Amino acid sequence: DTGVSQNPRHKITKRGQNVTFRCDPISEHNRLYWYRQTLGQGPEFLTYFQNEAQLEKSRLLSDRFSAERPKGSFSTLEIQRTEQGDSAMYLCASSSSGVETQYFGPGTRLLVL
Amino acid sequence: GEDVEQSLFLSVREGDSSVINCTYTDSSSTYLYWYKQEPGAGLQLLTYIFSNMDMKQDQRLTVLLNKKDKHLSLRIADTQTGDSAIYFCAESDTGRRALTFGSGTRLQVQP
């Protein structure tokens, strides 16, 4: 399967714990995006990388959130000191420069108890 | 900021055509997209249209764009039960890579 993959698919954690999610983009794609989707809503943009550079961050990305893409391939999204309001589906997408279509992974569903 | 609006729900009978509508506010939108999401799954890209086009057809899917009214529609011909899902309209502009999504339209196809 050469699509976008995300791990884990589900995560249950207690409030105050840290969690980390991983995204592996389509191999030839140099752009990678993180979105968050809450129940009944469309995805909301969090941040975007071109290669290893983080070029844009949404105001939704509080200082408890950090994303990295150290080698320009996979990316991680870490949430520190999780809160119940962080419960959502976290979606990763990738695209190529000059091609404006983003392809999404299956998402990581986070539940904070 | 940008805003994308969709109706919440549409119910059709199997074999009929479905038309899902979307309006957007960003006059600098360059691409408009339709994604499909099945329960518990990620988003599947269905089709997209560049803002200088007014129609695009892809098998059972027809996208119509009225740029003057900032209105986008997705027509699904011969709707099947497997088309039951949530459909999201999204837009992007030349200044940003991020997509702005609507809240989604739930399509229910009755046998």
- Which of A33, A41, A102 is closest, CB to CB, to B103? A41
**B42/A106 Cβ within 8 A:** yes
Q: Which pLDDT value is given to residue A1?
A: 54
**For A108, which residue in chain B has the nearest alpha carbon?**
B42
Contacts of B41 in chain A (CB under 8 A): 106-107
Interface probe for B, chosen from A7, A50, A100, A109 (most Cβ of B below 10 Å), is A100
Q: Does A57 touch chain B (CB under 8 A)?
A: no
Q: How do residues A29-39 score in pLDDT, each as one tens digit?
A: 999 999 999 99
Q: How do residues A43-53 score in pLDDT, each as one tens digit?
A: 999 999 999 99
Gap from A92 CA to chain B (nearest CA, Å): 9
Decide if pLDDT at B30 tops 90: no
Interface probe for A, chosen from B4, B33, B34, B43 (most Cβ of A below 10 Å), is B43
* pLDDT tier, B57 (very low <50, low <70, confident <90, very high otherwise): very high
**B104/A105 Cβ within 8 A:** no
Q: How do residues B65-90 score in pLDDT, each as one tens digit?
A: 998 899 999 999 999 999 999 999 99
Decide if pLDDT at A105 tops 80: yes
What span, in angstroms and rounded, lies between the C-alpha atoms of A52 and A59? 20
- Which of B40, B98, B102 is closest, CB to CB, to A45? B98
Q: Is A48 exposed, middle or buried (0-12, 13-18, 19+ CB in 10 A)?
A: buried
Segment B12-17 shows an average pLDDT of 97
**B48/A104 Cβ within 8 A:** no
Contacts of A33 in chain B (CB under 8 A): 97-99
Q: Which pLDDT value is given to residue A25?
A: 96
> Which residue did the predictor score with more confidence, B42 or A74?
A74
Q: Does A41 touch chain B (CB under 8 A)?
A: yes
Close Cβ partners of B106 (under 8 Å, ≥ 6 residues apart): B8, B9, B10, B85, B86
**For B4, which residue in chain A has the nearest alpha carbon?**
A42
